[in-house]
Amino acid sequence: MKYVVVSGGVISGIGKGVLASSTGMLLKTLGLKVTSIKIDPYMNIDAGTMSPLEHGECFVLNDGGETDLDLGNYERYLNVTLTKDHNITTGKIYSHVIARERKGDYLGKTVQIVPHLTNAIQDWIERVSRIPVDDTGLEPDVCIIELGGTVGDIESAPFVEALRQFQFKVGKENFALIHVSLVPVIHGEQKTKPTQAAIKDLRSLGLVPDMIACRCSEQLEQSTIDKIAMFCHVGSEQVVNVHDVNSTYHVPLLLLEQKMIDYLHNRLQLNDITLNDDDKQRGNDLLTKWKKTTGNFDASMETVKIALVGKYTNLKDSYLSVIKALEHSSMRCRRKLDIMWVESTDLEPETQETDKARFHEAWNKVSSADGVLVPGGFGTRGTEGMIHAARWARENKIPFLGVCLGLQIATIEFVRDVIGKTEASSTEFVEGLDEENQVVIYMPEIDKATMGGNMRLGLRPTYFQDNSEWSKIRKLYGSPASVEERHRHRYEINPEIVSELEENGLAFVGKDESNKRCEIFELKNHPYYVATQYHPEYTSKVLDPSKPFLGLIAAASGILDDVIDGKYDFHTDSESTDF
């Protein structure tokens, strides 16, 4: 197993995740099998209990793991399926060691951070890196380990020490380190001091950079590269220029141009890994498809405008997978994506009273959009605004997609307006809601006493109902009997009211295995009005966009029938992609 560690200095949030996943993706183009581990040095066991406004989206895995959003980057770039163990947090590793101590595994010993915790980290990495994650079902060849935070923080110290020891355990030719640093531009000058200081910190902790990836708003000058190489004690070929680019999908190609892979190839003696012709061919195909799909941006392409009506819009990372799913679908439909961010409270009558300009601006966006999206969310704030947006889309025949909370919102809207129960709501939004108005209710099996990791989570099947052959969403999936998608919710559509909803035209075309729980609804007499209780965005891939999102973008672009007929599918021969 070859390990590539990606750590960061100077500041966090400079795109370590994208750099790490792009590196992994490039290694895959050689035909290697690549996996990844993300280390998050916080005390939470997982990301499930953190506010999206503070930490960005909580990403959900097949096994129900609620993880850091970078796991999403890895799944998307590497086309792999990870497990909850691929995300190590301080909370997880401490509770693992403490549980072992209680069991008596260290009987007679004083349990310490070094060596017990640091050993546990190394054992965890070795064990998890070997789990097969792609469709070959084989053990991976390379594991990318991203260390969150910045080196030098108190939080990450045990992990840094574990990795320091690990490099000797696995051997020099099996361990490489990429340190991501920042080169600020001050008064037009590219400053190298922060990078020099970051590398000094790294070396003082016993880690040696094999590559220094410099994030900069502009292309690095040769003199900057030479200076960093000189003062950080590396060759200039080890300094990688990662300047801002239009799209993060271009980062792998940026790294490729700078021969990063050639360097890693030598450094990690990748020739030792035997690859057969099929592996190499798969790698080649991946690079060709990636270049073709991501290089497909063209200034002359038509724009598709999507109003994203959410409640965490101040931090765009709260909706990272949703944005990615929209991007993947737009690339497939050959459209330029314009996401119009709408904070849902801005659509509410209270805002009209307090801040008219804000209210009108928000409605201007919703009413000029080609499609409306209401994504997932928790709590009452902003839900009335979402209900107004869903009504706008339903009445004006604007393509609409509701995801999780979005499905619950659109159902409440329908009951209020079409069935006429104006007080209808969710027990999540209104305490003590009368029984007759309970459109969305707490699921009976969910524990009310604890919060961590106990929602209805992970991959679960949805069965298409008899007589749903007409359904656009079913056709987009290729007309299967069932689909499997990832979930994360505590509330559901009240099963008692489903028949009444269906009699009024809201077709629940997909239900769970009990045939009671609603998973997908669709309106028949509408260009595209679809909502899912699950989160299809989590499994969207650059080369395989999520179907409900593809439907939204296609309908908003006026090409839904062509997309359903496969006219926009990816083909390797250049002619058929030339629209």
Binding flag, residue 404, ligand GLN (CB under 6 A): yes
Min dist CB 38 to ligand GLN, Å, is: 21
Binding flag, residue 458, ligand GLN (CB under 6 A): no
Residue closer to ligand GLN, measured from CB, 3 or 491: 491
Reply yes or no on whether 489 is catalytic.
Answer: no
Structure-token match 């280390």, residue found: 39
For residues 530 and 523, give the distance between their C-alpha atoms in angstroms, rounded to a whole number: 7
Query: H/E element holding 196?
Result: helix 193-204
Residue closer to ligand GLN, measured from CB, 409 or 560: 409
Min dist CB 376 to ligand GLN, Å, is: 3
Binding flag, residue 320, ligand GLN (CB under 6 A): no
Binding flag, residue 84, ligand GLN (CB under 6 A): no
Reply yes or no on whether 445 is catalytic.
Answer: no
Residue 110 contacts by C-beta under 8 Å, 6 or more apart in sequence? none
Min dist CB 133 to ligand GLN, Å, is: 25
Residue closer to ligand GLN, measured from CB, 179 or 456: 456
Binding flag, residue 489, ligand GLN (CB under 6 A): yes
Count, residues in the chain: 579
Site for ligand GLN in 150-209 (CB under 6 A): none
| Chain center to CA of 39 | 16
Min dist CB 409 to ligand GLN, Å, is: 9
Near ligand GLN by CB under 6 A: residue from 428, 485, 519, 522: 428
Listed ranges 30-38, 178-186, 276-284, 372-380: which one lies at the site for ligand GLN (CB under 6 A):
372-380
Query: H/E element holding 100?
Result: helix 90-103
DSSP state of 536: G
Min dist CB 375 to ligand GLN, Å, is: 7
Which of the residues 161, 428, 519, 537 is marked catalytic?
537
Q: Compute CA distances 513 → 356, 517, 530, 545, 547, whole Å.
A: 47, 8, 20, 25, 21
Number of residues near ligand GLN (by CB under 6 A): 10
Listed ranges 112-120, 190-198, 295-303, 488-496: which one lies at the site for ligand GLN (CB under 6 A):
488-496
Listed ranges 3-11, 41-49, 309-317, 483-491: which one lies at the site for ligand GLN (CB under 6 A):
483-491
For residues 74 and 21, give the distance between their C-alpha atoms in angstroms, rounded to a whole number: 5
The answer to whether 14 touches 194, Cβ cutoff 8 Å, is no
Which of the residues 328, 388, 487, 535 is marked catalytic?
535
Near ligand GLN by CB under 6 A: residue from 376, 536, 548, 551: 376
- Could you tell me which residues are beta bridge partners of residue 59? 67
In terms of C-beta distances under 8 Å and separation of at least 24 residues, what long-range contacts does 517-526 make, across chains too?
A: 517/492, 517/493, 518/407, 518/411, 518/492, 518/493, 519/462, 520/462, 520/473, 521/407, 521/410, 521/411, 522/471, 522/472, 522/473, 523/394, 524/470, 526/394, 526/397, 526/400
Binding flag, residue 488, ligand GLN (CB under 6 A): yes
Min dist CB 421 to ligand GLN, Å, is: 20
The answer to whether 488 touches 66, Cβ cutoff 8 Å, is yes
Q: Which residue is nearest to ligand GLN (CB)?
A: 376
Secondary structure of residue 354 in the 3-state scheme: helix
Min dist CB 512 to ligand GLN, Å, is: 14
Sign of CA dihedral 402, 408, 411, 416: negative
**Please, how many CA atoms are within 13 Å of residue 431, restricted to the half-sphere of its CB?**
0
**Please, how many CA atoms are within 13 Å of residue 285, restricted to the half-sphere of its CB?**
11
Binding flag, residue 377, ligand GLN (CB under 6 A): yes
Angle at which helix 16-29 crosses helix 277-294, to 10 degrees, equals 130
Query: H/E element holding 461?
Result: strand 456-464
Near ligand GLN by CB under 6 A: residue from 100, 378, 421, 541: 378
Residue closer to ligand GLN, measured from CB, 86 or 489: 489
Min dist CB 404 to ligand GLN, Å, is: 3
Which of 170, 151, 171 is CA-nearest to residue 161?
151
Residue closer to ligand GLN, measured from CB, 118 or 533: 533
Binding flag, residue 441, ligand GLN (CB under 6 A): no
Full DSSP string of 278-292: HHHHHHHHHHHHHHH
DSSP state of 58: P
Near ligand GLN by CB under 6 A: residue from 323, 405, 424, 560: 405
Near ligand GLN by CB under 6 A: residue from 490, 495, 541, 543: 490
Which of the residues 214, 216, 404, 518 is marked catalytic?
404
Listed ranges 176-184, 235-243, 375-383, 517-525: which one lies at the site for ligand GLN (CB under 6 A):
375-383
Which of 92, 47, 3, 574 is CA-nearest to residue 289?
574
Min dist CB 377 to ligand GLN, Å, is: 5
Binding flag, residue 491, ligand GLN (CB under 6 A): yes
397 torsion bin: left (phi>0), alpha (psi -120 to 50), beta (else): left
Listed ranges 110-118, 183-191, 257-265, 484-492: which one lies at the site for ligand GLN (CB under 6 A):
484-492
Reply yes or no on whether 537 is catalytic.
Answer: yes
Footprint on this chain of ligand GLN (rule: CB under 6 A): 376-378, 404-405, 428, 488-491
User: Which residues are tagged catalytic?
Assistant: 404, 535, 537
